Amino acid sequence: MRLAAFVLLSVLLMTLDRLHHLEFVRAGLGVALYPVQMAVHVPLQAGSWVYDTFSLRRSLVEENRRLRREQLVIESRLGRFDALEAENRRLRNLLDSSVKVGEQVLIAEVVAVDMDPFSRQIMLSKGTRSRVYAGQPIIDANGVMGQVVHVNPLTSAALLITDPGHALPVQINRNGLRSVAVGTGAAGRLSLQYLPNNADVRAGDLVVTSGLGGRFPSGYPVGTVTAVTTDAGRPFAEVVVEPSAQLERNREVLLVWPANVPIAPPGQDGGA
């Protein structure tokens, strides 16, 4: 019967896709659906353009002034940062370290969000034609957002760090304690796994990427610890982290090409 055939075909497809043999089909579907996504995206963009064009002059002037003030503060901070980076590079050179600082970034727009209520995924407006690759980290101005999972020629899908299927190697900035930040599926909540009950974690601690696993560059902020619950009956503490990136509010994200991968020792492959 036809239904039975299609059920079997579905199961076959799911199995193949699970093993990542169907990226070309997915890419084809992505290209076919690109016009539909644009049809939704363009009116929204037009809406924000109309809003920008017709917003009051007074509020624009005020915003301009505020932004200028902010820029001044940020520039001064950046100047200090540049100096620190230069110093860091100099010291590293002195130490003859193989870690290089500095990576390439590219701005991509978010074309669609929350396509499936049970996972946290976003669609970005850059694809293989911009050299985007699966597994590439994405960040925003405040911290890590997630990583690219599927790439089409013109668009790509990215998994946010709050997705229940996403785990991120992190460390506590204060003392370097390593852990894994796993998404909970709820917006604005990550959970740190495998921290013993007596671990030195406090609410307010900054959590940054550790760079272990080689996928994310180290030192990017991930979030702040909001609650630590210890229960003597459980082996591990329950640590809740609030992501610092504006996962649900961004329209633009940064794609990062990490450059600070340690150079592999000779006679050994870099691995992924």
Q: Which of 142, 167, 180, 185 binds other proteins (CB under 8 A)?
A: 185
Q: Which of 108, 138, 148, 150 binds other proteins (CB under 8 A)?
A: 150
The amino acid that residue 99 corresponds to is V
Both tokens of 87, joined, read: 């110093």
Q: Which of 78, 187, 212, 263 binds other proteins (CB under 8 A)?
A: 187
Q: What are the angstrom distances between the C-alpha of 186 and each of 17, 145, 168, 189, 243?
A: 26, 14, 16, 6, 11
Q: Which of 101, 112, 180, 261 binds other proteins (CB under 8 A)?
A: 112
| Triad 23, 29, 33: Cα angle to 5° | 145
The amino acid that residue 152 corresponds to is N
Q: Which of 24, 39, 83, 268 binds other proteins (CB under 8 A)?
A: 39
Q: Which of 24, 51, 68, 116 binds other proteins (CB under 8 A)?
A: 116
Q: Is 165 among the residues that bind other proteins (CB under 8 A)?
A: yes
Q: Is 246 among the residues that bind other proteins (CB under 8 A)?
A: no
Could you tell me the smallest distance in angstroms from the CB atom of residue 203 to other proteins?
25
The amino acid that residue 109 corresponds to is E
Q: Which of 101, 130, 248, 260 binds other proteins (CB under 8 A)?
A: 248
Compute the distance between CA of residue 123 and CA of residue 40 in angstroms, rounded to an integer: 13
Cα 46 vs. chain centroid, distance in angstroms? 27
Q: Which stretch binds other proteins (CB under 8 A): 30-38, 88-96, 138-146, 231-239?
A: 30-38
Q: Is 199 among the residues that bind other proteins (CB under 8 A)?
A: no
Q: What are the angstrom distances between the C-alpha of 17 and each of 10, 24, 39, 142, 272?
A: 10, 10, 28, 34, 21
Beta-bridged to residue 139, according to DSSP, are: 144, 254
Residues forming contacts to other proteins in the complex (CB under 8 A) are 2-3, 6-7, 9-14, 16-18, 22, 25-26, 29-30, 32-33, 36-37, 39-40, 44, 112-119, 121, 123, 149-150, 157, 164-165, 185, 187, 248
